[in-house]
Amino acid sequence: MKQLVFFSLALLLAGACNRVFMPNTKRVVLTGIDASKKPGDDFFSYANGIWYDTARIPASQTGVGSYSFMNYPQRIRLQGILDSISVSQNPAGSIEEKVGDFYASGMDTVAINKRGYEPIKPLLARIDAVTDVASLLKLVAEEQKVGDGSIIGFRVGPDNKQSTVNIAQLYQTGIGLPERDYYVKTDSSTLTIQKAYKKYLSRLFALTGADATTAQKNAAVVYELEKQLATAHKTNIERRDVKANYNKMAVATLAQKQPTLSWTTLLNDLGVKVDSLNVAQPAYYDKLNTLLESAPIQDWKVYLKANALTHYSTFLSQPFVDASFEYTKILTGQAVKKTRAEEMTQAVDNSLGDALAQLYIKKYFPEAAKKRMAVLVDNLEKAFEARINKLDWMSDSTKAKAKEKLYAFTEKIGYPDKWRDYAKVAVKRDAYFENRLSVTKNDYLYSLAKVGQLVDRTEWHTTPPTVTAYNNPPLNEIVFPAGILQPPYFDVNADDALNYGGIGMVIGHEITHSFDDQGAQYDKVGNVTNWWTKGDYAKFKAKTKQVIDQYNLFTVLDSVHVKGALTVGENTADIAGVAIAYDAFKLTQQGKDTTKLDGFTADQRFFISIARIWRVKTRDAYMGMYVNINPHSPAKWRVNGPLMNFTPFYNAFNVQPGDKMYKPEQERITVW
C-alpha cells in the first residue's frame, strides 16, 4: 500500500489487544456517512457518500482522499521542511545542506530556463555519432549508468532460489506508453492516448530544432519501434507468474542466443562482472536482438534521442516541462501542473529520500510510535495463526509450514535502523541538471555494488514519509513506514474499532501477501520453493480462482471491469486482511462489548473504519489507466469486495437477500 497527528507513548496503546477503551476518552466522531444509502447495497457509498459527493479533486492532482492520495498533504509537510532549510545557514557537509541545496537548485527556474536544453546537447551529439550497433550499445550502457535506461532493463535483487544473495537481473523495457496493451488496443480512449503520446514525441523533437515534418516523422519512427518491442512484452497478468519470471542462465549461453546484443561486452560496459544472471522476460531480448539487426541504425538513433528527451524533459526548461505535462494531462486527467515546490519536494524525496526522511522523523515522528506499532503487528500475527489453525481445507503438515513462515517475518516499522549515506552525491546550489545526474549515477553504483553480495535485510525500499505499506516476499518482510501511521489508518483519539479497522486491516493485508498467489510460492527465508502438499496447493489455487472470477464481475466506469487475474493478490490480501483484523479486534474489550458509540455498535464502527481508509475519489482518465496497470482494485471494490464475503459484516448491518451486496453463505469466499 501507499490532519496529520502522531502518537504519544500512552495513546499508541490503541493497537494492543488488552487496551481498555474508556467511554469518556476523547474520540473520533464518524462523519461523511450517507444514511440515505442502504449499507447492504453499496457500503462504500454508505460510509463515504457525503464526503464523496462534496470532495473536490485539486486541479494539480489525479485524485483526493486517503491511501496513496494522502501523499499530497505529506508533500506539503515535507515542502515546509525544505522551504525552511533551503534558506538557512546549514553546517557544511550536513544532510540539511545537501537536501536544501538540491531543492534550491530545482526551484531556481530562472537559471534552468536560461539553459534551455543545453545540458543534453552533448548527449544528442553522442547519439548522432553512433555508426553501428556496437557503438549504439556502448552508448546505451553509458546512459544506463546515469539513470537514463532505454532498451536494457537492469536491476539487482535477491536470487529467488537463493534469497540470501543478490544477483544481476534483466527485465523487459523499451516502451514509452504505460504497458504493452496501449500499443494494440483500438478503443477510443486508447487511441486518444496514442495520439497524445505521438504528439508529445513530436513536440520534443521540435523543441530541439527539428521542423514540423521531421518531428512528426521521427515520432512515427519511435512509436513503430516501441510497438514492435511491445509485442514481445509479457502482460502485467503474465508477469505475476513467479516461476516463469525466473530464468537464470550463463552469460555465455545468453550471448550465444542473442549474438547481436554482444552480452559479454555490454555487461562489461555496464560494469557488471558476473558469469550468470536472471532474465525475467527472455522473449523481449529475443525480439530486441532481432530488431537491432533489422531496423536501420538511423531509426535507433532517433529512438535513443526520443528516450533521452522524455527521460530528461522535467530536468530542463519550461517548454520541455510543459510538453511532458500536456501528455500527462491526457493520460491521467490531471487538470493543471503541480506547483514547482511540490514537484521539487517529490524530486528530493525520490533522490535523497533517506536524508529528507531523517529531518521528517526528527520533526514529526516520536520513537514511542515504533514500539506501540510492534505490539499491534504482534496481535495481528497471533490472529492469523489462529485462522490457520482453523482452516478446514489445509493439512496439518502445510499448516505447520505456514506458521513457521508467519513467525519468520521481519517487521519494519516507522523508519530504518540505519540510514543510507549520500556522501558520494555531489550537490551544487546552481546546477540542478548535474545534481540529478549525480544522484542517478550514485544510485546505479549503489545497486551495482550489491551484485554477488549478501542481501542487506535492513534496507528499505520506500521512504519513511510515504503513505504506503508493503510485503517483500524474497525477504519475507512486512514494512509500515511512518507516513501511514496517521489518520484514518491510526488515530490517537480513536477507539479500538477504528484503529483495528484501519491500520489493523492494513497489517492483516500485508501479512496475507506472504500467502497470496505469489507470496505462497516463497518459503520462510524467501526462496521460491514448494512447501505445500500437492492437494493443499490445488485447493488453494481453486480458492484464488474464485477470487479472480468474482472480481472480474465488478465494474468500473460503467462498462470497464476489474481485472481479476491482475488484482488477485491484492484482493486475496484484502479479503483476509479484514478477517484477521476483525479477529484481533474481538480480543479487545471494546470488541467484546455491546456498548454503542455515536449510535453505532463496535462492529459497525470497525467496518465503517475499513471504508474510511479507502475513501478515495479519482479522475476518470486516471482510473482508466489504473485498472489497466495497477494490481490493486479500485477503492470501492477494496471495501465492497471483501465485505460481501465476510459474514460478520452481514450480521453488523443486517444484510439480507435482495441487497445488492448479498451473497448466500456458501458463495462467500474465505481463503485464509
Q: Does residue 273 sit within a domain?
A: yes
What pLDDT sits at residue 21? 36
Measured distance CA(642)–CA(567) in Å, rounded:
13
Q: Cα dist. 109→234, 348, 352, 432 in Å? A: 40, 16, 20, 9
**In 3D, which of 465, 461, 491, 492 has the Cα closest to residue 479?**
461
- Residue where a domain terminates, one of 276, 292, 315: 315
In this structure, the number of other CB atoms found within 10 A of the CB of residue 137 comes to: 23
Please report whether residue 12 resides in a domain.
no
Query: Which H or E run includes 156?
Result: strand 153-159
Q: Are residues 391 and 507 located together in one domain of the fold?
A: yes
Q: Which of 315, 336, 353 is the last residue of a domain?
A: 315
Residue 585: in which H helix or E strand, if any? helix 564-585
Q: Radius of gyration of the chain from Cα atoms?
A: 26
Q: Are 298 and 377 found together in one domain?
A: no
Distance CA 179, CA 238 (A): 12
pLDDT tens sequence across 71-111: 999 999 999 999 999 999 999 999 999 999 999 999 999 99
Shared domain check, 38 and 158? no
Q: Per-residue pLDDT for 19 more than 50?
A: no
What sign for the dihedral angle of Cα 33, 34, 36, 42? negative
Q: Which residues contact 346 (CB under 8 A, 6 or more apart)?
A: 75, 338
Q: What is the reported pLDDT for 501? A: 96
Tell whether 512 and 629 lie within a shared domain.
yes
Q: Which residues pair with 528 in a beta bridge?
A: 522
- Whether 490 maps to a domain, the answer reads yes
Residues 310 and 397 in one domain: no
Over the stretch 420-432, which tens digit does the pLDDT of each residue have?
999 999 999 999 9
Region 206-211: mean pLDDT is 97
For every residue of 511-578, DSSP letters joined together read HHGGGSTTGGGB-TTS-B---S-HHHHHHHHHHHHHHHHHHHT-EETTTEE--HHHHHHHHHHHHHHH
Average pLDDT estimate for 237-254: 97
Phi, psi (5° rounding) for residue 428?
Answer: -120, 140
Are residues 659 and 529 part of one domain? Answer: yes
CATH number, domain with residue 655: 3.40.390.10
CATH number at residue 244: 1.10.1380.10
Average pLDDT of the residues in 613-628? 96
User: CA-to-CA distance for 629 and 190, rounded, in angstroms?
Assistant: 13
Query: Rounded to an integer, what distance in angstroms lies between the CA atom of residue 537 and that of residue 535?
Result: 5
The C-alpha cell 523487459 sits at 172
Q: Mind listing the pLDDT tens digit for each residue in 246-299?
A: 999 999 999 999 999 999 999 999 999 999 999 999 999 999 999 999 999 999
Q: Are residues 503 and 602 in the same domain?
A: yes
This prediction's pTM = 0.92
Q: Is residue 403 part of a domain?
A: yes
Q: Are 6 and 485 in contact (CB under 8 A)?
A: yes
The answer as to whether 545 is a domain residue is: yes
Rounded Cα–Cα distance for residues 66 and 484 (Å): 10
Query: In whole angstroms, how far apart are CA 120 and each of 39, 217, 379?
Result: 57, 22, 54
Asked if 422 and 356 touch (Cβ cutoff 8 Å), the reply is no
Q: Over range 485-504, report the average pLDDT.
A: 90
Indicate the number of domains in the chain: 2
Domain match, 310 and 381 both: no
pLDDT number for residue 491 = 83
**How far apart (Å, rounded) are the C-alpha atoms in residues 123 and 101?**
25
H/E/C letters for each residue in 167-197? EEEEECCCCCCCCHHHHCCCCHHHHHHHHHH
Distance from the Cα of residue 128 to its chain's centroid: 36
Residues 625 and 332 sit within 8 Å (Cβ to Cβ): yes
Domain that holds residue 631: 33-77+367-415+458-667
- Residue 262 · residue 137 · CB < 8 Å: yes
Give a yes or no: residue 478 inside a domain.
yes
* Confidence band of 26 (pLDDT split at 50, 70, 90): low
Q: Are residues 264 and 192 in the same domain?
A: yes
Q: Please classify residue 34 by burial: count the beta carbons closer than 10 Å to its beta carbon, then call 0-12 exposed, 13-18 middle and 19+ buried.
A: middle
Same domain, 69 and 196: no
Using the predicted structure, report yes or no on whether residue 366 has a pLDDT greater than 80. Answer: no
Mean pLDDT within 655-668:
97
pLDDT digits (tens, 9 = 90+) for 151-169: 999 999 999 999 999 999 9
% of the chain residues with pLDDT over 90: 92
Q: Give the residue from 315, 341, 359 where a domain finishes.
A: 315
Q: What's the pLDDT score for residue 2?
A: 35
User: Is the same domain home to 558 and 470?
Assistant: yes
* Phi, psi for 233 (deg, rounded to 5): -75, 140
Asked whether residue 193 is domain-assigned, the answer is yes
Strands 616-618 and 560-561: unpaired
Q: Are residues 167 and 286 in the same domain?
A: yes
CB under 8 Å to 85, separation ≥6 — which residues?
Answer: 96, 99, 100, 103, 359
**Does residue 115 fall inside a structural domain?**
no
